[in-house]
A and B are shown apart, each in its own frame.
Chain A
């Protein structure tokens, strides 16, 4: 058992180094020198704004055994990469790059199954086949924005997420939920806030790793207003936005592997 946190520590450190090597700008002064927290200067946000903790038991075990890991990135336009300068610049491919360097000894495969415009219930249906066929160890499910825009009832949305998360857990597959993006247009939209809160609530109740995309993006928007993270439509992300998203997801995943040592696994 002791091998798991050790491996993860190494991975976390490697992740930090890999990011630091790629980005010449140093992190802002005063950032705690914890392993795995080194984000690029543009994407740096407080740890609290990146993720809520959750366990990734299956992934940790696989890594400890030195087995190759498969990650299924599923969701809507933020996963398929609408707004990026090319098809290959989406967050899952950035993530593959980051994790590939960080987990130099593990073979990491990231599968992208994003379909723009989908609401969560449609993605959930599709996921059952994708998961059965692709056999991922971790599912990164980006969701919520289209449900908010389509005015899906928050309690229906909640049911969809809970059912799917439990199904994944029952099948021994880890899952991380990746929340809605921050955009000034929807910052006061009741439906948007309701779906965002529902997702947060579900993640908390089901002990699922939850990437707080809204908080992270809002932090960057408020503190580095000149930084362009959004595509010209002010709704989708651009290359930098996807790069930050990938960094935040990578940090959340590595952080969740690390935190396992201190917390009992909750199911």
Chain B
């Protein structure tokens, strides 16, 4: 039996839809997603809630009885994510090749930064398998693999003391930003689009805030003050984004990564924006559940099956990109494409649960 609609699944579902829309460049709805109104975007919500979900998994009765086994299951989860990443990358490359052939348009090989693969398939295949090569827009699952390998250590530390995991995580984050530590791209240059050393912090923050002790307990005791603090942070973020303000580089002290708005290194401003959103949106889900039941149920359905929905959504976004190229885009086309993507995601989630409900276990 699938769990009842809840706030976490609801926001995860909305984040998944938002990510899918953000990954169709040039589409009309792209201008209306979270990143146009806040310094943070849907990918940060998704990773934050992934950390939150790890807490929920580990505080289940079965996990409490045997914590070590529960932590090992997180490693197993990392493998599942790795396989999913390899599969959707392969499907995406196949779709690009098919589209390039069908439209006789070699430039489609460039999309998703896949040109290296079509130029050097042998070297790049090793890159894909080592996660050193990632397609553009397909950067979240490799990050997620790395996070799931961190998760057992995080859980172990947390069991030793409620602030310990967060302390270690913050230290790694600070060192990463100070010294620009990142996982390397290979065989290409540069580093991962989403730096795991930086992004583990927001994942661990989600994990910590979901807990009863430590930061989670502290935040619950001070929820009113935190909400009051969050409102001006969000307003400031909104104004910065709408008026395209950013600090003057010359005024910034070193290390600059702490003060700019870098998504790759998840600068503190983005984390603050994410936390402020979390602190001010608790009332949304109950309201939606009461007055727009289907929206709450459907979004939660997506969020409950986030991996499958994410995989199908990634492929759907690529197909939508190709459809926009073919048709020339426009509001009607974009509406159809986004609608079809959401419908496909809902079907995927429904089908996943339908299949599970019929399996003998």
Contacts and interface: CB of A to CB of B under 8 A. Distances in A.
Interface in B56-115: 105-107, 109-115
Interface residues of A, number: 40
Interface string B230-258: 00000000000000101011101000110
A82 B25 contact: no
Contact of B261 (A128, A145, A149, A170): A128
Given A129-B265, A131-B249, A116 B115 contact: yes
Contacts of A145: 107
Interface string A166-195: 010011100000000000000000010000
A77 interface: yes
Nearest to B321: A150
Contact of B114 (A117, A119, A133, A156): A117
Nearest to A231: B106
Interface stretch (B154-162, B272-280, B324-332, B346-354): B324-332
Interface in B317-353: 321, 324-325, 328-329
Contact of B107 (A131, A171, A233): A233
A122 interface: yes
A23 interface: no
B107 A191 contact: no
A83 to B, nearest CB: 8
Nearest to A129: B262
Contacts of A170: 248
Contacts of A147: 26
B6 interface: no
A125 B136 CA distance: 14
Contacts of A76: 110
Contacts of A171: 248-250
B112 A133 contact: no
Nearest to A113: B190
A152 B26 contact: yes
Contacts of B170: none
Interface of B: 25-26, 31, 105-107, 109-116, 119, 136, 180, 189-190, 244, 246, 248-250, 252, 256-257, 260-265, 321, 324-325, 328-329
Interface of A: 76-77, 80, 82, 112-113, 115-119, 121-122, 125-126, 128-129, 131-133, 135, 145-147, 149-153, 156, 163, 167, 170-172, 191, 233-236
